[in-house]
Amino acid sequence: MAPRSRLPRRMTGLYSSTSSSDSASLQSQTRSERGFPEAEQSLYNTFTSKSAQAAGLLSYLGSRNPLPVQITARDSVWLMDNVAFRGKSGQWEAEFVAAAFEGEPSAKIVDYVGDVARLLGLAKGSKEEAVVEHRIKPFVTEILPGRQVKVDFNRGSKLVKLSPGGRHGISSDIRQLPAAVDGDVVSSIADVPAGTTGILEMRTKYAEPEGWAVLSDVDDTIKITQTSDPTGILRSTFVSEPTPTNGLPAFYTKLQALVTPNAPWFYLSASPYNLYPFLREFISQHYPPGQLILRDSSWMTIPGLLSNLTLGTHEYKVDRIKKVHSWLPNRKMILIGDSTQSDPEAYGDICRRFPGWVKLVLIRRVTDIAAVGSSKKNEPERFEKAFEGIKAPWHVFEDPAECEQLVQETVRG
């Protein structure tokens, strides 16, 4: 089947509700045919957060929690990279996302490792099992709801206080920032006691309202994940060396040069925040730096990883892209995704919701059945329906090289 491409055209009608149901139907079919429910039931899923129990109702209040707890030397903190933008007042702002949890994983890590190793057929005591134990730790580490994280922004420029974390141990706050120049990248560190571990340094990229921006999916777009196969997800996440999609690193390097290095990049994944260190390192090795946006649910379960990647991805991605639009409504956006999940339908909805904001949509046609799950996901009719009525040009590709001319024409006008 040849890749498909369409130039903008005008159509009438509303498609958001049908595109959402279409993507949900494809995901449901894939989950059933590929044995996701059975795999999820066979994985260890009885870990209960002692901290969440102790915090009780306060763990549900998040930013409204009147009794925040300070970070200690025994805790671990993750700071997430972000993009600064001009708020409604014209001042610089950014969304700060941080997570807090205990410094050491639960003793039940053995049960988690054993389940994953069994499903993947790994020998006990093998090198692969040791890799599983290392990568699985964020899924079995006690979350700490109600902790307040403080950020030493730009190392002495400003102390940014975040709200107490919610029941998933994650806090998310918009905070005003000192002045800077478009494209500036500043480094900040967590203001925590000596001995605190985790990702204690973050980067903030400043982006003025005008110019280009790129938003890319992660799983099976820039990284081989096999999101339509439960064992494929587990193997690519916990065992295999993370593999970039063939040709995408070189293509993204060329794209970065076209949109200029000042352009902000966003990487959107349906994976839970447990995988932030893993995916952040992968992106830093192969792709332009950017803000990694992940789900804040199913923090402490392996079955949650499988369900995150296969349930509700359409609604989740539309919601997060709407947030990016609220930050940078005047940027010219390029959206890049693939055919395994709900990217075509989600991107089509965004194009119809915000006419003129998206200038180009690129969809990687995934041919590996373990990744795509169902041949229906690659049928031309799916893409035609997903992008019905949008003004922006869209293209379905297998080789990234075939997108280069279209990108050049789009960016150079």
178-188: per-residue pLDDT in tens? Answer: 999 999 999 99
Who's near 96: CB < 8 A, 6+ residues apart?
A: 79, 80, 82, 151, 160, 162, 171, 172, 173, 174, 175
| Topology of the domain comprising 5-40+206-412 | Rossmann fold (3.40.50)
Per residue in 123-144, pLDDT (tens digit) is 999 999 999 999 989 888 888 9
The band of 29, judged by pLDDT with boundaries at 50, 70 and 90, is confident
Q: What is the pLDDT of residue 394?
A: 98
Per residue in 212-237, pLDDT (tens digit) is 999 999 999 999 987 678 888 888 88
Flag the least confident range among 103-107, 171-175, 191-195, 364-368: 103-107
- Domain locations along the chain: 5-40+206-412, 50-203
Across the range 77-104, mean pLDDT stands at 97
The mean of the pLDDT values for the chain is 87
Q: How far apart are CA 259 and CA 204, in angstroms?
A: 19
Pairing of strands 358-364, 332-338: parallel
Q: How far apart are CA 282 and CA 277, in angstroms?
A: 9
pTM above 0.85, yes or no: yes
Q: What is the pLDDT of residue 28?
A: 74
